[in-house]
Chain A
């Protein structure tokens, strides 16, 4: 799909809240499947790891429980992606590997070994498919990006520890856009770097801080069909949106309401309802330490709200513009009104 010339950004309203404690404990990432299915990866209080099968309609489809260090198990899962057949791939920071399941949770394969040589992994975090379903891995403690086939055969890699262009400090998220460019959330450098498919540096954006467009340990990252870049700005408790050139557009601090399942639960719990009645409820809407963000082709943005046991969903409203509908770029701002 060709990129539009420009966008009329009508808005990006909050859409809904999904999940609650017990169902979606410490959601760390989400993969979008077909027909409204979601696979919410939960690093459940550090002692259990599971994938909650869910829907955009707040329906629980069951869980895939895989905590452990044995064959097909995961211990510190960090990122989940789904391929075109809805097979799931999960990176595991503790076991230094990538595990694959089918959508029912049957173990399909595992690849990755601990180490620093090319093809080996040390605390792999973000993973992302390209159009051929090769897998880019943010190899965090080796401070590099590596590319593998989906069966784990090493293809290429780039990076190294540092803060210069093409260097990384514990990279976290990785995403690939529909033109094949690779985006990396360079966690400890508080920036986003964009590369060609084989690792040639294109640009960077961000920088340390809490102002608009600044980042404090950016974690997850995704890119939509318009080329918009979404960044889970972890320690700033927000998600930020940059355009395809890396220019800041807006931020999302959280607007959560009680999810459908939460409302049902609370209606049978008088004591916490009283405590809610006594409490300042302002904080309950805000994101808490979001570690990832995912966008689907319908413009829905899913934010696993890691500290609040839920997923916040926003809906993009943007209208593609042609050159006739969007004037040529200006070199400077203007006060003229036409």
Chain B
């Protein structure tokens, strides 16, 4: 029973956060699963990271600094779901530096997702529509009265809310007209004295105040009206619910396939949609429903870890970077090599997820990274793993495998994998910690087995 509780919590923290140390899991177990979910969704109920410390030591505008700061939050914030929701919305509302080239706006967008990510979808879409990085990314700064640019209006409906097939081309044109004049002030350019913020501005003289017909209604609609109508649509509730299911529960086909591929668990989607409407679009309540559902609890290891989830999970496992360190920013390159360059998704569609994270090259990167990280017994998390196993001494090879799998996040492996791990662990007989020499050998065997565990296919799943 205790094992199951810890397994549920380990699963929860992999999905609602970026993993948890054994100590953290034991603390959460004392609270109980539902209370932990409530704490996660009521993120303001726990302290945020120490912004003083973060800003004192981590400043600058380079991509790696900003991503490094985010990594620090992912690893250390007690508001784990807040960071995970920021990543979720970054997936859905993908905005890239490849075009924008304005680091300050990119970082501000993530801060906005962090701030409003668990709020009402109406508020989230309003913030998104006022976000300079998004406005520039989808050309709404070129969306002018009499000369509409439909890029943002199209993606707002297609990729950010309703999904293909639930609106018409005419709706796109009308939505675009409603967002004319939604632009930003010209920031002072980067040279010679650094980035300055762009500010949202609605230019009344460039806004189309004519009548528009949208989703069957007519009127002099502005952008807020369009969003207000969008968030009341069943299609929006279904589309966002499917995104949530894909990101937090189990891998779905890629988004372009959704019009032709039904959800793998329609009942789960119906549950999330019902929560959406019952709460008036409050993401906090939808997430509470999701994490407390049986379909979520039964979905352990049903999705491939994104590069960010893999890297953060491994760093949590080895227990490093719990204080600020300049080296943390190097992992921005690591996730990029695995196919996820944060702040720079490949297209407006975001990253393709699930098994598309994996190919020959990225698999190599993922395994090599994890093996290298856990291969250092001096790292706090590995050292603690050895200590915990020592506390159980004498430990049989079978016991060693079970304990290491448990300490690696209660990883569940297939029989073939378990047999291979037991074969590897069995080579040295029982672990003997009685002498210095014995402890040294035991430590090597623990590290060796941990390296093997993080190389397994199963470890690629969250």
Which residues of A does B touch, CB under 8 Å? 20-21, 26, 43-47, 75-76, 93-94, 170, 187-188, 217, 256, 258-259, 261-262, 265-266, 269, 271-272, 275-276, 278-281, 283-284, 288-289, 306-310
Contacts and interface: CB of A to CB of B under 8 A. Distances in A.
A307 B191 contact: no
Contact of A283 (B57, B186, B196): B196
Nearest to A219: B56
Contact of B191 (A44, A94, A266, A283): A266
Contacts of B68: 46
5 contacts: A43-B60, A44-B60, A46-B64, A47-B65, A265-B191
B194 A307 contact: yes
Contacts of B187: 275, 279
B185 interface: yes
B193 A284 contact: yes
A172 to B, nearest CB: 8
A75 B57 CA distance: 12
In the A-B complex, the 4 residue pairs with the smallest Cβ-Cβ separation, listed nearest first, are A20-B192, A45-B62, A262-B192, A272-B189
A302 to B, nearest CB: 16
A45 B59 CA distance: 7
A93 B56 CA distance: 11
Given A20-B191, A265-B191, A278-B186, A26 B60 contact: yes
B192 A265 contact: yes
B193 A308 contact: yes
Given A76-B326, A94-B325, 18 more contacts: A20-B191, A21-B192, A21-B193, A43-B60, A44-B60, A93-B57, A170-B56, A217-B52, A271-B189, A272-B189, A272-B191, A278-B186, A279-B196, A283-B196, A284-B196, A307-B194, A309-B194, A310-B193
A266 B56 CA distance: 31
A139 to B, nearest CB: 15
A265 B189 CA distance: 13
A256 B193 contact: yes
Given A47-B64, A94-B326, A309-B193, A284 B59 contact: no
A94 B68 CA distance: 15
A21 B188 contact: no
Interface string B53-85: 000111111101100100000000000000000
A65 B192 CA distance: 21
Interface residues of B, number: 25
B189 A262 contact: no
B119 to A, nearest CB: 27
Interface in B30-66: 52, 56-62, 64-65
Contacts of B60: 26, 43-46
B451 to A, nearest CB: 25
A20 B193 contact: yes
Contacts of B128: none
B329 interface: yes
B196 A46 contact: no
B62 A47 contact: yes
Interface of B: 52, 56-62, 64-65, 68, 185-194, 196, 325-326, 329
A281 B192 CA distance: 13
A47 B192 contact: no
A142 to B, nearest CB: 14
B103 to A, nearest CB: 10
Contact of B65 (A45, A188, A217, A288): A45
A275 B186 contact: yes
Nearest to A217: B52
A187 B329 CA distance: 25
A25 B349 CA distance: 35
Nearest to B68: A46
A279 B185 contact: yes
Nearest to A259: B192
Nearest to A93: B57
Contacts of A280: 185-186, 188
A310 B194 CA distance: 9
A309 B329 contact: no
B52 A306 contact: no
A84 to B, nearest CB: 31
Contacts of A259: 192
Contacts of B325: 94
B59 A26 contact: yes
Nearest to B197: A283
Nearest to A25: B60
B188 A281 contact: yes
B194 A46 contact: no
A217 B52 CA distance: 9
A262 B192 CA distance: 6
Contact of B186 (A43, A93, A94, A279): A279
Contact of B52 (A93, A188, A288, A307): A188
Q: Which of A46, A265, A280, A289 neighbours the largest number of chain B CB atoms within 10 Å of its CB? A: A46
A262 B59 CA distance: 23
Given A47-B64, A217-B52, A278-B186, A289 B59 contact: yes
A26 B190 CA distance: 13
A238 B188 CA distance: 20
A75 B194 contact: no
A271 to B, nearest CB: 8
A301 to B, nearest CB: 19
Contact of A45 (B61, B185, B189): B61
Contact of A46 (B56, B59, B185, B191): B59
A46 B68 CA distance: 10
A308 B193 CA distance: 5
